[in-house]
Amino acid sequence: MLPLDGIRVLDCTRVLAGPLCAMLLGDLGADVIKVEQPGRGDETRAWGPPFVGGESTYFWAANRNKRSLTLDLGRDVGRAIFTRLLERSDVLVENFKAGTLERWGFDEPALRRINPRLVHTAITAYGPDGPRARASRRSSRCPPWSRACRRSMSTPWLYTREPTFVSAGERRF
């Protein structure tokens, strides 16, 4: 028996931080259901090479121990199915841009009405509010204020210096 047996996680994440979080919950025994976009799924399925069975190893490295389905949350039928999944879930993990769930009618009060015991985990790049809350979380260029990007660009630093604290950006507690 694993610590999270009997816990259902609704995984509405993409790319890395969110899928890794939900995967670790699955490793601990949770029943993880990944919700993906119709027609394409999680875009990391196509990130490669390398590929195994036509899908990227990157995708599989961050999405083991999950079942998946596609839902169009922009349509009424997709939102109705999503609501039923929320009613039967213990945890919602999502990394939508700020305001996306609200646009579909799933703001915090609505989530509480649907399932009062739901643990809602929102993984964001810049927090839920503030000047960059709605900014894209990925960019081909590192922002000038990102110490993490600057440090990670100089690979030799990773191996020649003692570990140092690197801020993870703006934090709100």
pLDDT score for 124: 81
The tens digit of pLDDT for each residue in 43-99 reads 888 888 899 888 899 998 999 999 999 999 999 999 999 999 999 999 999 998 888
pLDDT score for 138: 56
Catalogue the long-range contacts made by 166-171 (C-beta closer than 8 Å, 24 or more residues apart): 169/125, 169/126, 170/126, 170/127, 170/130, 170/132, 171/127
- Mean pLDDT for the stretch of residues 124-129: 75
Indicate the length of the chain as a whole number.
173
pLDDT score for 153: 40
Decide: 86 and 92 in contact? Cβ < 8 Å: yes
Instruction: Kindly tell me if the per-residue pLDDT of 8 is higher than 80.
Output: yes
Contacts of residue 157, Cβ cutoff 8 Å, sequence gap at least 6: 151
Map out the domains of the chain with their CATH numbers. Answer: 8-122 (3.40.50.10540)
* Per-chain mean pLDDT for the chain: 82
